[in-house]
Structure formats: structure tokens, C-alpha cells
Amino acid sequence: MNRLYVPTLGPTDWRRLLADPDTQWKRFQSALEMAVCWEGARASVRGLPPEIGEAIDTAPELRGASLIIGLPEHKVQFEGGGHPSQNDLWALLRVGDNFISMAIEAKAGEKLDDLVSVWLTKKSSERSNKPEKLADLQRRLGIAGADVSTIRYQLLHRTASALKEAERFAARYALLIVQSFNRAADEQSWQDFIHFGNVMGVTAAEGRIVASPRSTAVPLFISWVTSQPATLELLGAAV
């Protein structure tokens, strides 16, 4: 577990954290778009991209939250081994006297990983532990025993990471946001997100935070937010 972090000097510092920088760091792909978007907001009062702040403000409990620290490609390890949940961005926000653990999953035409049914059958070093790992994620999400076979595994993993980090940092709330940089190309992911919301007991809404009624360690909120790709002016700082 990393305990020491170095502040970024700009979007290109995000590139070295990627699994495959040569293929992932391209214009209109989520990794680059997200880095430019969030670095562009660092000088704002709240430290948040406007569309993210506007979505957060739709939840009375979270309204006015500001960024305390953001960690690109933040890995959250779960019990039982296996691959950690690598968040495109994990952030600690503050609203009043409370903290928010926020996980951001960025998309720009990339799918939300495999369906749980497919993930369970894929060969890997952790294959024998997958049923137990899935059961642990479901317990964290308050959906133990629910049929999640048609849910995208990435949504379970990232949401659970927001909840786990909420416990670690004594945050009052947990929040998952899917940030889309290509709404048309992400239509399938949007449908997958709606399906995930149904399992979590909510009706997903674009650009609005919704609170899940599931029994989780801290109150859980989810949202889908659409952002615009970087302009050429902003892009110039990232290449």
C-alpha cells in the first residue's frame, strides 16, 4: 500500500501511472481527457470540474463540497487477494465538517469491463477466489444475495473502493461518479449504469447525484456526469 505521494505538475504526470501509456494516452480517450479536465480545474475555488461540482450540488448532503486531495490511478486492495481496484481518480472531498470518499471512473467509448458472469469464468491467478471476492463486494454494497451476473464487474469494484476508502479516511459519505467524455460512444455504458442503479435501488440520472438505500458502511451516492473533450488550447498543456 502506497503511503507517500508526489503532487502532479500537470496532465502528463498522469500518463506515467497508466498500465499502457503508449496506447491509452491519446486525444479523445478517457485517460488523457480526464487528466486535462481535472488539471484544468485545479485553480478553481472548489478544485472540481464545473460539471462535477454541479452534479454534486444536486445532493443536499454534498452541496458545496470541495476537493481536498485527488490521487490519479489510485489502487484499493481488498481482502482475499486478487487485483486491486484501480480508480481512474480517487478523491477526498470536504463539505462542512464531513469528508466524502469519491471514486471516478472515466469513459470515452471504452466499456465498463466484463459482465460479472464473464469475469467469474475467465482464467486468472485469482480464479479460485473469485466467488468469495464477489460475495465480499456484494456485502460491502449491501446487495448480498442479489443476482449481479449481468452487472459490469468494474462498477461493483469501483463503488466498493469508494466505500472502503471512506472507512479508511473516516469519511461520512461515499460517492461513485462515471465521467463520460464521449456520450454517444458511451451509450452502452450508460445502459449498464442504469442497470447497476436498479440493483442499487435507485433510478440513475445523468448529471444528478442519487442516494442508494442499500445498507452500506456509510451513505452511498452514485452519478453519471458527461464532460466535453478538451479544447485544443487545454490539450496543448498535455502533450
CA atoms within a 13 Å half-sphere pointing along the CA-CB vector of 81: 7
Beta bridge partners of 76: 85
pTM of the model: 0.93
87 by DSSP, 3-state: which?
strand
pLDDT band at 11 (very low <50, low <70, confident <90, very high): confident
pLDDT at position 125 = 59
Cell numbers that stand for 212 in this block: 442508494
Q: Are strands 173-180 and 98-107 parallel, antiparallel or unpaired?
A: parallel
pLDDT band at 65 (very low <50, low <70, confident <90, very high): very high
Q: How many CB atoms lie within 10 A of CB 97?
A: 6
The answer to which of 67-71, 123-127, 172-176, 226-230 has the lowest mean pLDDT is 123-127
What pLDDT, in 10s, does the model give residues 184-215? 999 999 999 999 999 999 999 999 999 999 99
* Residue 170 per-residue DSSP state: T
Average pLDDT over residues 2-19: 87
What pLDDT, in 10s, does the model give residues 158-189? 999 999 999 999 999 999 999 999 999 999 99
